[in-house]
Structure 1
Amino acid sequence: MKKERQFSRHWSILGLGILTLSMVQARIIHVSPDGAATGDGSAGAPLASVQSALDRAQAGDVVLLAPGVYTEIVTTARGGSPEAPLVIDGQGKAVLWSLTLAHPYVHVQNLTLSGMTNRYRALLYFERGAHYCVASNNVIDPAFTRDVYAVSWRGPATKPFGADAASYNLLISNVIRRSIGNPMVTVMGDGNVIYGNRLLDGAVVDFFRLFGRSNIIAANLCSNNFPLPGVNNHPDFIQTFGNNGHGSMGHVIDGNWVIGVWSGQLTQLSSDRLSDVIRDWTFRNNVFIDIALQASCTIPEVKYFNNLFLRCNTTNGGHALNFGSRGYDISNAPPGSLVAGLEYVVRTNGSGDGTGYIVYEGRPYRAGERFVANAEREYVAVGDAVVWLRLYDSAHGALVFNNVFIDCGDARTNVGWYGFATNLVNVAADYNFVAKSGFKPVRIDPQMRSVGDPRGWDWVSMYWWEPHGINGGDPGFVDLAAWRFELMPESPLVGAGTNLSKWFQTDALGRRRAGVWDIGPYAAVTTTRPVPPSGLRIVK
């Protein structure tokens, strides 16, 4: 409920700026490729430079760009206010190289950002302090230029979080396309909403990299993330990590369609030992189709609710979702410093031939071997061996409910849904639908152990079991071939889910779920599937 309130508050604040724009007496500053530096910005004497117009613009002004190409890299000189945002309008026909929003309450709309070739710069950049801005109906197109970012944020001055990072911004109804080797959208800050955009045709990209707190990625179409030889990147639909020191928590990924990540993962969520500030993501009401690899998760409290997975992880042939642990060698642990109950790993320091080893409690351990310390704090190092403390990030608290898994993994019937490492705690998965080719059932764990069972669950054979799940059979979509995933009234998925209203209340179309929930992102339609009439004859 907290995230729902944040979402509503954010929209009401942004909506206030949009609605009151017409109430403010705006000055229009005209810019044209045919303008002059000596112009006054009037319709009859336009300026030639977008930057000159921004330098003059005050709260409530509209910088109106005439059709043409502006080969400028510009930055706002000041912002607007809640009652009088500063507006930059490209009228659907202006092209600008790059725009940095460095102030609050700026609206940029109907503009194409493209043409810049400066390496490691973004076409649309949110500088610190650029709060409550709106970017709508723009085309953001790096045109496959290497090392040019489409949309990016500057991180906060303090880590892991900071109030100066651009927050409470709205990106809506933009087309973001043709990135290569870089994230299409990198988000920092808090309470930003990325809604209803189309992210198209990325070459080995992350569609999103997400940091900050309580950001919402909703109702976007992400399509065609394709491989390209010679481009060194790890493509994903969405990624976060902690090795930059930034936190990432409390996000909602809702109602997106992700189609065709042809050589990458659905997610890569890792915390790099920052699991206290990288945690608590919710994926709900999304549709994932043709994602080559799995969703990898080693951060805590990740939830998958009412999503649909079709042909995911067919390249590796395993599960669509994987929850586990990731180890990190933290620091050298000299003799006498071992702590009981912690894990250590033997490494070599490079000063010898790599054959060194240690002896701990009478047993030798060579490079790469791990051990858990007991009460004994001492060990004996031989040759170039050293001991490092190893800590883990783990996907504790993961929940998977009300999802649909169809034809994921390879042809085997013991893969294609989710895998949970058995060291995880406070995890659960139930009320999901699974099926393989032709809606065939998958292999069932003969001991009927579901994820979270105190006895443990099947991690080796990877057989499936859920007390309330549905194994195989026609799910009863309106039209699977046409990707019409609404449920017909007679679908076995209708009323077969569990009520998740403590987290959210709507389906992918915003329709309120109540009482007994359906499985999948779309609630049932109210009409039955048409049945062809019988007994007809041709009359000539």
Structure 2
Amino acid sequence: MQSPVRLLYWTILFLIANSVCGFLSSGFAQGGFTYYVAPTGSDSNPGTSAAPWRTIQKAANTLNGGDTVIVNAGTYNERVQVLTPGSAGKLLNFQAQGSVVMQGFNIQTDYVRVNGFEITNTPGSSPTDRTNGSGVYISGNHNEISDNYIHHSTAAGIFLTSSASNTTISGNRVAYAVECGLYINGNSNLIASNDISHTRSVNGIDASGVRFFGSANTVRKNYIHDLKVSDSPGESPYPNAFLTWGPATNYIFERNLIDKDSSQHHGFEIDAPIQPVGDIIIRNNVFISRGTGYNPDVIAGSGGTVTNVTIANNTMAAVNGPAEKAVWLYPNIKGAIVKNNALYDHGISSVPYIQVDSGASGVDIGFNSVSKSDNQAPKGSAYPGDLWMVNPLFVNLAAWDFHLQSGSPLVNKGTTLSQVTNDYDEVPRPQGSGYDIGAFEYFASLAPPSITSFTPITGLVGTSVTISGTNFSGVTAVQFNGVSATFTVNSATAIQATVPAGATTGPITVTTPGGTIGSTAFTILPPSITSFTPTSGPVGTSVTISGMNFTGATAVRFNGVTASVTVNSATAIQATVPAGATTGPISVTTPGGTAASGTVFTINPPSITGFTPSTGPVGTGVTISGSNFTGATAVRFNGVSAAFTVDSATAIEAAVPPGALTGPISVTTSGGTATSASPFVVASPPAGQTYYVAPTGSDSNAGTSAAPWRTIQKAANTLNGGDTVIVNAG
């Protein structure tokens, strides 16, 4: 049975994944085109759902800002290079549909989103060939990598270069990568809700969950587990959940779950041979140590100066018997706060629960709790404010539920820290008269939330809704009819939420640690079509559709055939008449429903005004002139289908097909069939020449019976239609 902590982690991850997928499923929210890729497609196709491309690279070469490519289920033996940038609000979207297996992305541009792919068997040549070997390699800004399954890569699972910034890495599962699951560099990136396990060492590169460098990055709600020496046969890795050797500054690590295998010693290793390293906050994390003996959760200061490290309100539990120190501060530490941490079974009679080496300076330690299953106190004595040798009264230690019971001595016994404002569950601190010790703040009453009202009661995707009620502290999710929304908790009685893409009419729900409550239905306003212009045209015509409540439109169809569209506003859509469309109504679909036009859009029929030449044998190229040829599906010579190319809306190139007889030419489009007024005369082929080849001939001869050629190849290079070559014995 899974523990409450693990269940909570997966619940949060599921909600974030649903929110991301829901946003992505609204293919037109950014106002771009939607294209398709399938294993049965061809890159010479237009990239529609009916005629998809074959490769994801074709999509990467074609997409512009705001466009989406839906990649259908299948295996794609390609690694995709993305060089074209999107822009703010108009990302390039790569969306997997079903199980899509491929060899990764190399993103060297900005505003790109990658969602839902299985990435494996990357083509890198070594662990340091991250450009080709990482599942996703990012060298740009404002990118989003979410909900992918990356495994057995030949380098780091996801690699951010020093030029990566403002990028979000969320909801990914990374397993059996080489070197590390995530390699963070650059600045102002968010790493959230990823699952990282089973990193391997190859060629002595070692194995970590996350390696971190750069500045101002936030690492939140990730699950690091099963980092095992046994996954690297023939190697001797020293697995760390988090490792840096600098430079690394202004980092926040919060609400992560670090489950250390018995063969993994370190949670955090903060080394500093490359400066600067400092201003690192480690707060509200849960560390589980399965090993005994040497098993610290944080070591800092090896190899160079580390400044201003805060280790606060973490829960650090050794679950298989007493282990040594939980924190080790080396002599190079210049400024460290270690407070409000709940330590269980760390420290033994010969080793303190926190080891501070001589030379470390600016160290402020206290208000930690120390608990031992064997009742043997660690070496040393309590720091100011410490709770020494107490039973923490966790809800269920065996099930990893480190929430505090009502009588826990850790309640209200911490000190106020400006660096910590909430807990692992995002419950605001303090809930009582003071901060609680450990990652979880105790609720005096886990009263369920209630919703008393919300305003407005109707709206579109993107509408800001104020939800009123009670007991909103620690809200973990807000959903509109099951679709997760972004939200801000303004107070214990008010939430501001945004109607998410994909939401449909239904109740609003609010979830807190005290439970989930639903409301009456919030109504997503249905769309309506008031007019469109022009009212007729051939395939490819741009049509402006006017109406209401178009925000979040998911489909526009011409008599049932899906069109590419741009949603200009809540009242205007620009659509292109798709190939295959026939005369009929236009429909617009949004999360609020589907609206159909009251009048039909007429697909203009084709017409033939002439053709040239007017006569010729089979194989003759014929230029057909007329109008409304776009999307032509057939050209026939007196009923016999011909090969053809649509040059434009007014010109088609066709070849007289075998079997054709004298008669009219016809052109068929979705608008109808046009027939020429005059017939095309199929002429008999001209009489051909006869040539000769003989073993005694010469290719410089004329090829006559008296002066034959020497080789049959000469004949093949010379003959025209109707010609014959006689090859003499030899």
TM-score, L = length of structure 2: 0.53
Q: Which residue of 2 aligns with 1:135?
A: 145
Q: Which residue of 2 aligns with 1:64?
A: 70
For 1:483 and 1:194, locate their aligned partners in 2 and report how far apart those are by CA, in whole Å. 24
Evaluate the alpha carbon distance shift between residue 77 and residue 467 of structure 1 in structure 2; reply closer, same or farther with a 3 A threshold. Answer: closer
For 2:407 and 2:36, locate their aligned partners in 1 and report how far apart those are by CA, in whole Å. 59
CA contact (8 A) 2:93 2:114 kept: yes
Of residues 325, 331, 343, the one that matches 1:319 is 325
Q: 1:70-106: CA deviations, max 9, x gaps?
A: 1111111312111211100012411110101111111
Q: 1:433-488: CA deviations, max 9, x gaps?
A: 012224x2625xxxxxxxxxxxxxxxxxx412212111112111111111111111
After the TM superposition, which residues 525-536 of structure 1 pair with which residues of structure 2 at under 5 Å, given as runs?
A: 525-526=443-444
1:509 maps onto 2:392 in alignment: no
Q: Which residue of 2 aligns with 1:337?
A: none
For 2:426 and 2:27, locate their aligned partners in 1 and report how far apart those are by CA, in whole Å. 27
After the TM superposition, which residues 318-467 of structure 1 pair with which residues of structure 2 at under 5 Å, given as runs?
A: 318-325=324-331, 394-409=332-347, 412-415=348-351, 417-438=353-374, 440=375, 442-443=377-378, 462-467=379-384
1:489 maps onto 2:401 in alignment: no
Of residues 465, 470, 474, the one that matches 2:391 is 474
What's the secondary structure of 2:398's corresponding residue? coil
For 2:199 and 2:319, locate their aligned partners in 1 and report how far apart those are by CA, in whole Å. 19
Q: Which residue of 2 aligns with 1:89?
A: 95
Q: Which residue of 2 aligns with 1:194?
A: 191
Q: CA deviation at 1:291?
A: 5.8
For 2:367 and 2:320, locate their aligned partners in 1 and report how far apart those are by CA, in whole Å. 21
Q: CA deviation at 1:312?
A: 8.3
Q: Which residue of 1 aligns with 2:168?
A: 170
Of residues 226, 231, 235, the one that matches 2:235 is 231
Larger radius of gyration: 2
Q: CA deviation at 1:314?
A: 7.7
Q: Which residue of 2 aligns with 1:264?
A: 265
Q: Which residue of 2 aligns with 1:118?
A: 124
Q: CA deviation at 1:238?
A: 0.6
Of residues 240, 244, 249, the one that matches 1:240 is 244
Q: Which residue of 1 aligns with 2:155?
A: 148
Whichever residue aligns with residue 287 of structure 2, its letter is F
Q: CA deviation at 1:413?
A: 2.9
Evaluate the alpha carbon distance shift between residue 27 and residue 238 of structure 1 in structure 2; reply closer, same or farther with a 3 A threshold. Answer: same
For 1:308 and 1:405, locate their aligned partners in 2 and report how far apart those are by CA, in whole Å. 6
Evaluate the alpha carbon distance shift between residue 493 and residue 484 of structure 1 in structure 2; reply closer, same or farther with a 3 A threshold. Answer: same
Q: 1:123-166: CA deviations, max 9, x gaps?
A: 333443x1111111111112xx5x432111223xxxxxxxxx11
What's the secondary structure of 1:318's corresponding residue? coil
Q: Which residue of 2 aligns with 1:183?
A: 180
CA contact (8 A) 2:180 2:200 kept: no
What's the secondary structure of 1:481's corresponding residue? helix
Q: CA deviation at 1:527?
A: 5.1
Whichever residue aligns with residue 289 of structure 2, its letter is D
Whichever residue aligns with residue 266 of structure 1, its letter is G
Q: 1:227-267: CA deviations, max 9, x gaps?
A: 1331243321111114xxxx210101100111124233222
For 1:314 and 1:132, locate their aligned partners in 2 and report how far apart those are by CA, in whole Å. 45
For 1:231 and 1:137, locate their aligned partners in 2 and report how far apart those are by CA, in whole Å. 31
CA contact (8 A) 1:191 1:214 kept: yes
Evaluate the alpha carbon distance shift between residue 397 and residue 29 of structure 1 in structure 2; reply closer, same or farther with a 3 A threshold. Answer: same
Whichever residue aligns with residue 31 of structure 1, its letter is V
Evaluate the alpha carbon distance shift between residue 284 and residue 46 of structure 1 in structure 2; reply closer, same or farther with a 3 A threshold. Answer: same
Q: Which residue of 2 aligns with 1:308?
A: 315
Q: Which residue of 2 aligns with 1:254?
A: 254
Q: CA deviation at 1:525?
A: 3.3
1:55 maps onto 2:61 in alignment: yes
What's the secondary structure of 1:87's corresponding residue? strand
Q: Which residue of 1 aligns with 2:42?
A: 36
Q: Which residue of 2 aligns with 1:538?
A: none
For 2:387 and 2:350, locate their aligned partners in 1 and report how far apart those are by CA, in whole Å. 15
Whichever residue aligns with residue 183 of structure 2, its letter is T
Unaligned runs of 5+ in 1: 1-10, 156-164, 326-393, 444-461, 529-540
Q: Which residue of 1 aligns with 2:439?
A: 521
CA contact (8 A) 1:434 1:441 kept: no
What's the secondary structure of 1:51's corresponding residue? helix
RMSD: 2.5
Whichever residue aligns with residue 418 of structure 1, its letter is I
Q: Which residue of 2 aligns with 1:334?
A: none
Evaluate the alpha carbon distance shift between residue 301 and residue 312 of structure 1 in structure 2; reply closer, same or farther with a 3 A threshold. Answer: farther
Q: CA deviation at 1:269?
A: 1.1
CA contact (8 A) 2:103 2:135 kept: no
Q: CA deviation at 1:61?
A: 0.6
Higher strand share: 2
CA contact (8 A) 2:260 2:267 kept: no
For 2:320 and 2:308, locate their aligned partners in 1 and report how far apart those are by CA, in whole Å. 22
CA contact (8 A) 1:76 1:100 kept: yes
Q: Count residues in correspondence.
A: 404
What's the secondary structure of 1:52's corresponding residue? helix
Whichever residue aligns with residue 215 of structure 1, its letter is N
Evaluate the alpha carbon distance shift between residue 314 and residue 149 of structure 1 in structure 2; reply closer, same or farther with a 3 A threshold. Answer: farther
Q: Which residue of 1 aligns with 2:84?
A: 78
Q: Which residue of 1 aligns with 2:611?
A: none
CA contact (8 A) 1:265 1:291 kept: no
For 1:89 and 1:173, locate their aligned partners in 2 and report how far apart those are by CA, in whole Å. 14
Percentage identity across paired residues of the two chains:
24
Q: Which residue of 2 aligns with 1:216?
A: 218
Whichever residue aligns with residue 310 of structure 1, its letter is A
Q: 1:390-432: CA deviations, max 9, x gaps?
A: xxxx1110110000111125xx334352111132221111000
Q: CA deviation at 1:191?
A: 1.0
Evaluate the alpha carbon distance shift between residue 88 and residue 198 of structure 1 in structure 2; reply closer, same or farther with a 3 A threshold. Answer: same
Q: CA deviation at 1:519?
A: 0.1
Q: Which residue of 2 aligns with 1:3?
A: none
For 1:437 and 1:22, locate their aligned partners in 2 and report how far apart those are by CA, in whole Å. 58
CA contact (8 A) 1:21 1:84 kept: no
Evaluate the alpha carbon distance shift between residue 92 and residue 306 of structure 1 in structure 2; reply closer, same or farther with a 3 A threshold. Answer: farther
Whichever residue aligns with residue 270 of structure 1, its letter is D
CA contact (8 A) 2:229 2:237 kept: no
For 1:39 and 1:416, locate their aligned partners in 2 and report how far apart those are by CA, in whole Å. 69
Q: CA deviation at 1:68?
A: 0.4
CA contact (8 A) 1:132 1:170 kept: yes
For 2:320 and 2:244, locate their aligned partners in 1 and report how far apart those are by CA, in whole Å. 20
Evaluate the alpha carbon distance shift between residue 475 and residue 62 of structure 1 in structure 2; reply closer, same or farther with a 3 A threshold. Answer: same
